[in-house]
Structure 1
Amino acid sequence: MRNTNKTYTVDEATQKLEAYCAYQERCHKEVHQKLKNMGMIPQAIDQIIHHLLQHNFLNETRFAQAFARGKFRTKKWGKQRIVRELKFREISQFNITLALKEISDKDYFETFDALSEKRIKQLEGETNLQKKRKKLADYLLYRGWESHLVWEKVRELIN
């Protein structure tokens, strides 16, 4: 069996990663992993990441902000889930704080209310109140909404 792994020069890898980062915002961890998977040595990885940072292809603050906006708008994630996912990607606390400022309180609470109402409508067939409460709470908690908000909403909607 022959080895089909392509080898890259530093220049080729740099070009490939410029395109990778230009396509969508990336975090350092993703870029580092991509370079490792391409078989680059640690010195080359450092050199390429330095190049990407210098030429603004890679920007952790921009990534965190875009990530927070995107996950909130498209997946309707709460702040806790967004924070957890950013920490998993090794984003600094400073950038996480900046990212959360991308979500206005007004939008946050409107989205939470709309999501809760939508889920309640889906649970109309459920006759057991305890099960209905649990399903609503689990749904919202899984999406990373703060527990005090969730339990308040459960009490408000199912009494």
Structure 2
Amino acid sequence: MAKESFTLEEATRKLEGYCAYQDRCHKEVIKKLQDMGMIPIAVDTIISHLIKENFLNEERFAKSFARGKFNIKKWGKQRIIAELRHREISRFNIQTALKEIEGTQYQITFDALAKKRLQQIKETDIQKKKKKLADYLLYRGWESHLVYDKVNELVG
């Protein structure tokens, strides 16, 4: 079956909707256009249109990504940074995005997450319990110095 083809106008409208639905990073939009079979010059034309018309804004994407992953998924800064880097977001925009996470709220969330997870760990061996709690918090991207201080405070 032949791949569906789009005119520049159709692809532009389609991507405006794609970006209006949810903030996107440049990498996602380029991938979407390539999957649609658009040639590189068309990709560049559409990307510049989306930026000019404010459908595509990497700083806005980074900020909403950081807020969402912190507030909803309870990710720490390390995981957020890694995920934004994976999406090829600039260092400047990553730093700007991290400012969306308020310091005291970060501590409160971390404390609550650690305590909640500790309640769920049924392990009786103190060392294994500490390791399970630390692994969970590190996987979620919380800074190691915070994790180890919290584990020693809560367990043992």
Shorter chain as denominator, the TM-score bin is: over 0.9
Q: 1:43 aligns with which of 38, 41, 44?
A: 41
Q: How does 1:8-157 map to 2 (within 5 A)?
A: 8-123=6-121, 125-157=122-154
In structure 2, runs of 5+ residues without a counterpart are none
Q: SS at the partner of 2:119?
A: helix
Q: CA deviation at 1:126?
A: 1.4
Mapped partners of 1:126, 1:25: distance in 2: 41
Identity of matched residues, %: 65
Mapped partners of 1:132, 1:81: distance in 2: 23
**TM-score under structure 2 normalisation?**
0.99
Deviations 1:47-73 (A, max 9, x none): 000000000000000000000000000
In structure 1, runs of 5+ residues without a counterpart are none
Q: What number of residue pairs does the alignment pair up?
A: 156
Match of 2:4, as an amino acid?
A: K
**TM-score under structure 1 normalisation?**
0.97
Mapped partners of 1:94, 1:120: distance in 2: 36
Mapped partners of 1:113, 1:154: distance in 2: 10
Mapped partners of 2:93, 2:123: distance in 1: 42
